[in-house]
Structures are given as C-alpha cells and as structure tokens.
Structure 1
Amino acid sequence: MQTYGNPNPTYGWWVGNSVVTNRAGRFIGSHVGHTGIICFFTGASCLWELARYDSSLPMGHQSSIYLSHLASLGIGFDEAGVWTGVGVATIALFHLIFSAVYGGAALLHSLLFDPDLKGGPIGRVDRFKLEWDNPDNQVFILGHHLIFLGVACIWFVEWARWHGIYDPAIGSVRQVFPGYGDFGRIWSHQTDFLAIDSLEEVMEGHAFLAFLQITGGAFHIATGATPFEKKRLGEYDKFKGAGLLSAEAVLSWSLAGLGWMGIIAAFWAAQNTTVYPIDWYGEPLQLKFGISPYWVDTGDISDCKYFLGHTTRAALVNVQYYFGFFCIQGHLWHALRAMGFDFRRIADALGGLATPASN
C-alpha cells in the first residue's frame, strides 16, 4: 500500500485491507469469510425467490435472478420437462450449510492459525505465504488459482455433457457436448462472440478456456518459486513485474479484471438469448445513452412487480454494468497509487488555484 514516504503509517478502522496486507493467514481468512457471506446470501436469496415465485407469471418478470440462473443450468425441472423448482431448495440449503463451513474456516484462519503462514496444522503452508514484491511467489500462487478455475470450467462442460442444460431453441433441457478438441471455431469468434447462438459453441468456449487456464497455471507454477525453493524456470525483469508488484498493484489488476468481465457480461446478457433465455430472463434490452449508457426493456412489462417494474434481465444487466464501471474506476485509482502517484498533489493544485495571487 502506498505510504507517501512514511515507513510506519497508521490507518483508520475502516481501512480493512491494511489489517491483512502483510499477514497472509489473515488475508486468507478474510477471503474465506467473504466467500461464506456470498454463499449465505446466495442460498437465502434463492429460497426467498422460490417462496414468492408465481407460476402464472413469466420467470423473467419476477425477482428471479437466482432461479433464472438455475433454470438455465437445467435445474428445477420435473420429469415431464416443466420447470417446477424441484431440487432448488436442496441447492439453496447446501449453500447455507457451506456458508457455515466457510465461516468456521474464516474464524480458524483469523483467530487460531498462524497469521503469517509460517506454519500450521497442514504441512508446507509456508509455500503460499504472500510476498507482494516477489514475482516468483506471486506467479506460484497465481498458477494454483488458474488450475482451479480450469477445473471448474471442465466441471461445467461435464455437467452439460451428462446432465444437460436448457436449450431455448427447443424449449427443454438437453445434453450438450461438442468435444474438447475443436478450438479453431472458438478462436474465430474473437470479434463476434456476443452473437454466439449455439450451446455447442458455448461449451467449446469453456473447454478452450479450461485448456488455457490449466496450461497457464502449470506454466506459472513451473516458473515461480517459494521462499524456500530456487526459481525453476525463467528470469524476471521490470516488464514481467520485477520491482512493480505490490498489494495495491495486485488489487488494481483484480479490479480491472472484474470490471471488464462485468461490462462484457452486461452487453452479452442484454442481447444474447441463448445463454440468457427469454423464458427465464425476459425480453432482450435496448441500449440507450443519457449521462451514461443504460439498457431499457423492449417487451410488455405491465406484470413486472419487482425491480421497480423491470424484468430480471434489465436489473441484472444495468447493475452488472455499473458495478463493472466502478471497478474500472477503482482499478485506475489503485494502479496510479501503485505507480507512486500522490493524489494529495491534486488537492494542493486545486487549493493553489483557489488562493488569490499576492502582490
């Protein structure tokens, strides 16, 4: 974190990141606790939506963000292929149970386990002790994250293969498996991916992403080193991150990734009816510009009782876009601080403009 030349800065209680910046165990505890909160909110919101679901109204015209996502994954359908919500409560309860597990793990990391990850009940946890200015350490940890993300993508592809997902083209759940080898077609969609209308291509994209993530993860693990191991492959210069890394820099890059994903997902969800079917999210949206971009409903929304009278798609897209937008602003703020820019200079400059010149 930027200290403006002060080697021993102090921060207020509201600056939560300052408490965990240099304590890897506490950092993990905060992340696990955050995951528990998300898990609890997901399970509780899912039950809330299920309790107030009205089968006489389109799902996309109700407060149904969680139910809509589950329906898109082929969850909640009875044996006749009609969405009834069967099994949804079970998934919600699993989230509530796991939120307690995550909460317990967060307490253990925060109160009992070593706050600096120098040791613990599991062997060699010191391999994952964060060192913000150490590229070897950072890429070693990044590599493991990428592999886990790649495995998650494979899991989704296999879910579509064995269980099936909802296909709006036929109005029912079907098994989708295009294979793991045809990546050429996905590569050709770099400029028109928002127009993809085939579930096979969606699954091909996830398989391709899994390949990139697992390959990249293995590469980063091979080229990184822990504090107790020699670097295995490659050298680092300033272009690759040496001398540029810090907690603030890593935070800025994370915010940039979240921001761009949110903005791209907003444009995708606004128009794409293959991944976001009309049956579950409502009609496609129209992009308009005022002070800033926003999306409006195009269908009849007279029966929309929630989200201020808008469809699930309109609520999801607009909120996602603006969350992404503000994440980008946070990225710029923290990136400039990581580069050493002193924002106090702006206040000083404005103060100088406001002060009348002396004779």
Structure 2
Amino acid sequence: MQTYGNPDITYGWWAGNSGVTNRSGKFIAAHAAHTGLICFAAGGSTLWELARFDPSVPMGHQSSIFLAHLASIGIGFDEAGVWTGAGVATIAILHLIFSMVYGGGGLLHSLLFPGDMQDSEVVQARKFKLEWGNPDNQTFILGHHLIFFGVACAWFVEWARVHGIYDPAIGAIRQVNYNLDLTMIWHRQFDFLAIDSLEDVMGGHAFLAFAEITGGALHVVAGSTPWEKKRLGEYSKFKGAELLSAEAVLSWSLAGIGWMAIVAAFWCATNTTVYPEAWYGEPLQLKFTVCPYWIDTVDLQGGGAFWGHTTRAALSNVHYYLGFFFLQGHFWHALRALGFDFSKVSASIGNEKNATFTIDS
C-alpha cells in the first residue's frame, strides 16, 4: 500500500487491505472468510426466496435471483420436468454448512497459523508467500488460481452434458454437448449478447477450461525451468517485475470483476437463452439519463416482485452499478500503484483557497 513517503503510517480499521499487504497468511485468512460470507449469503438468500415463492406467479416476477440461477442449471425440477423447488433447500443448507467451514478456515489462518506463509513449517505452504518484486512468485500463485477456474469451467461443461440444464427453446431440461468450434468461439466474442445456442455456450466454457488449465500449469512452472534461470533478469522484466505491487494487483482484480459485472448486466438485460424468460422475466428496455439503466417492459402490479421489479431488472441494474464502482476503485488503486500522490490534490485545493492575489497598480 502506498504510504506517501511516511513509513510509519497507521491505517484505520476500514482500510482492510493494509493489514494483509505483505502478510500472505492473513491474506489467505481474508480470502477464506470472504468465501464463507458469500456462501452464507447464498444459502440464506436461497432459503428466503424459497420461503416466499408463490407458484401462481412467474418466478421472474418475484425477483427470485438465486432460485432463477438454480433453475437455469436444471435444479429444482420434479420427475415430470416441472419446477417445484425440489432439492433447493438441501443446496441452500449445504451452503450454510460450507460457510461455517470457510469461516473456521479463516479463523485458523488468522489466529493459529503463521501470519506470513514464509514462516510456515510446511515446505509447500512457504511457496505461497508474497514477494511483490518477484514475478516468479506471483506467476506461481496466479497459475493455481487459473487452474481452479479452469476446473470450475470443466465441471460446468460436464454438468450440462451429464445432468442437463434448462433449455428455454423447448421449456425443459436437456443434456447439452459442447460445440468446440474455434471459428464460432472467435466470432462469438463480438456478438455474445445475441447467442442463442446452449451448445455454443458450453463450447465457450470448454475452450475456456482448456485455456485456463493450460495457462495455469505454465504459470506454475514458470521460473523453475533451466532456460528461464539462465536469463532470469530478462524474463523477470518481461513478466512485469517493475509493475508488481499490492496496489497494482488489487487494481487489476477490481478491473476484472468490474468489467465482468458490466458485461453481465448488458447480457442479462436482453439475452433469453442464458437468462431464460421463464426464470428472469421479460427482456428489458435500455434507458439513459445521467447514466444507463434498464426498465421492465411489463406491468408487475399485483405480482410478487421485490421492490416492484423483475429478476432481470434487479440483476442487470445491480450488476451494472457495482461494476461501475469497482472500476472507480480500479482507477484509484492503479494511479496509486503508478505513484500518483492523492494527498497533493487536497493540499493543492487548500492552497488555492488560502491564496491571496494582488493586482499591480
């Protein structure tokens, strides 16, 4: 974290990142605890939506965001193919149980395990220490993240192929095989909002799984190969040795999640294949005053909509505005990582207010 030239600076409790900047053990504790909070929110919200669900009102008109996501991947249907919420409570309770497991892991890493992984007695654990000026250390950690993401994508592809997901074209659950057409995947980069084939969706996930797992493996071994060690200085510079810092990594993370949130907002607002109308409600209309926003195209009076909006409207607008503020955080931390001193801005404003001007006679 940038200290503006003051090595003895003390951050307030709200600057949570300052406490984990150079302490990899605390960093892992924060990650585990954060995952526990997400699991708890998912499980609790799913139970809340299930408790207030009204079968006589379309799901998309009840702002049932978590139920809609589960229905989209084929969960909650009876043997006749009708959505009844079967098994949803079990999944919600499992999330609540996992939240306690993750929370316990966060407490263990925070209170019992070393605050810095380089102090761990486990040899393998010491490899996950944080060395911001060492690109090989950073790529090693990045590689594991990519592999986990790739495995998640592969799991989703197999789920669709073996269990099946909801196809709005036929209004039922069906098994979906992936279409691994590289030409299609390339062109879908530019018209993904209009995608209308679940096979193409799974093909994109299959390709992404391969790319992430392969890239992750390469990042894990990067720096440990003989040909790299011979030219360590050159390759370290290529990997961004002069760019790495806690602020920089945080800014890149915020940029990634912010951009994904905005893309998801536009996608959810109009696409009825990935976001079926039966679960999310009707497509939205884009409006613009000071900034873009989406409004419902149906009258929801008398329905069970939460705050008077469809699931699609709630999901799209919340994603867009969260993404917008994430990007503001990206710019803030990116500028700090580049050395911009924000304290000079307030100082300059104060000098302007206190300045006196004279006019020569």
TM (normalized to structure 2)? 0.94
Post-superposition shift, 1:238? Answer: 4.6
Cα deviation, 1:316-346, whole Å, max 9, x if unaligned, reads 0000000000000000000000000001222
Residue 299 of structure 1: aligned partner: 298
Task: Note if contact 2:63-2:314 (Cα within 8 Å) is conserved in structure 1.
Answer: no
Residue 82 of structure 1: aligned partner: 82
Residue 126 of structure 1: aligned partner: 126
Residue 214 of structure 1: aligned partner: 213
Unaligned runs of 5+ in 1: none
Task: Note if contact 2:118-2:128 (Cα within 8 Å) is conserved in structure 1.
Answer: no
Residue 40 of structure 1: aligned partner: 40
TM (normalized to structure 1)? 0.95
Residue 50 of structure 2: aligned partner: 50
Give the secondary-structure state (helix, strand or coil) at the position aligned to 2:293: strand
Residue 144 of structure 2: aligned partner: 144
Residue 332 of structure 1: aligned partner: 331
Task: Note if contact 2:76-2:85 (Cα within 8 Å) is conserved in structure 1.
Answer: yes
Post-superposition shift, 1:184? Answer: 2.3
The code of the aligned residue for 2:211 comes to L
**Distance between the aligned counterparts of 2:77 and 2:31, measured in 1?**
34
Give the secondary-structure state (helix, strand or coil) at the position aligned to 1:243: coil
- In structure 2, the CA distance between the partners of 1:108 and 1:237, relative to structure 1 (3 Å rule), is closer
Task: Note if contact 1:225-1:231 (Cα within 8 Å) is conserved in structure 2.
Answer: no
The code of the aligned residue for 1:311 comes to T
**Distance between the aligned counterparts of 2:43 and 2:351, measured in 1?**
53
Post-superposition shift, 1:123? Answer: 4.2
Post-superposition shift, 1:63? Answer: 3.0
Unaligned runs of 5+ in 2: none
Cα deviation, 1:270-323, whole Å, max 9, x if unaligned, reads 000000001000000011101111000012222343432110110000000000
Which is further off, 292-301 or 331-340?
292-301
**Distance between the aligned counterparts of 1:239 and 1:116, measured in 2?**
27
**Distance between the aligned counterparts of 2:335 and 2:238, measured in 1?**
17
- 2:11 is the alignment partner of 1:3: no
Post-superposition shift, 1:120? Answer: 4.1
Task: Note if contact 1:21-1:247 (Cα within 8 Å) is conserved in structure 2.
Answer: yes
Task: Note if contact 1:73-1:164 (Cα within 8 Å) is conserved in structure 2.
Answer: yes
Cα deviation, 1:39-76, whole Å, max 9, x if unaligned, reads 01110110110011000000011131000000000000
Cα deviation, 1:250-289, whole Å, max 9, x if unaligned, reads 0000000001000000000000000000100000001110
Cα deviation, 1:225-249, whole Å, max 9, x if unaligned, reads 59xx968989435553112111111
Residue 286 of structure 2: aligned partner: 287
Post-superposition shift, 1:108? Answer: 0.7
Q: Percent identity?
A: 69
- In structure 2, the CA distance between the partners of 1:221 and 1:241, relative to structure 1 (3 Å rule), is same
**Distance between the aligned counterparts of 2:329 and 2:254, measured in 1?**
7
Residue 311 of structure 2: aligned partner: 312
Cα deviation, 1:70-90, whole Å, max 9, x if unaligned, reads 000000000000000000001
Give the secondary-structure state (helix, strand or coil) at the position aligned to 1:294: strand
Residue 274 of structure 1: aligned partner: 273
Task: Note if contact 1:223-1:234 (Cα within 8 Å) is conserved in structure 2.
Answer: no
Post-superposition shift, 1:216? Answer: 1.2
Post-superposition shift, 1:115? Answer: 1.1
Residue 259 of structure 2: aligned partner: 260
Task: Note if contact 2:264-2:319 (Cα within 8 Å) is conserved in structure 1.
Answer: yes
- In structure 2, the CA distance between the partners of 1:172 and 1:234, relative to structure 1 (3 Å rule), is farther
Residue 12 of structure 1: aligned partner: 12
Post-superposition shift, 1:8? Answer: 2.5
Aligned-residue RMSD, C-alpha: 1.9
Residue 95 of structure 1: aligned partner: 95
Give the secondary-structure state (helix, strand or coil) at the position aligned to 1:169: coil
State how many pairs are aligned: 356
Task: Note if contact 2:58-2:278 (Cα within 8 Å) is conserved in structure 1.
Answer: yes
Post-superposition shift, 1:188? Answer: 1.6
**Distance between the aligned counterparts of 2:188 and 2:276, measured in 1?**
21
Task: Note if contact 2:42-2:92 (Cα within 8 Å) is conserved in structure 1.
Answer: yes
The code of the aligned residue for 2:28 comes to I
Which is further off, 275-284 or 181-190?
181-190
- 2:171 is the alignment partner of 1:171: yes
- In structure 2, the CA distance between the partners of 1:42 and 1:224, relative to structure 1 (3 Å rule), is farther
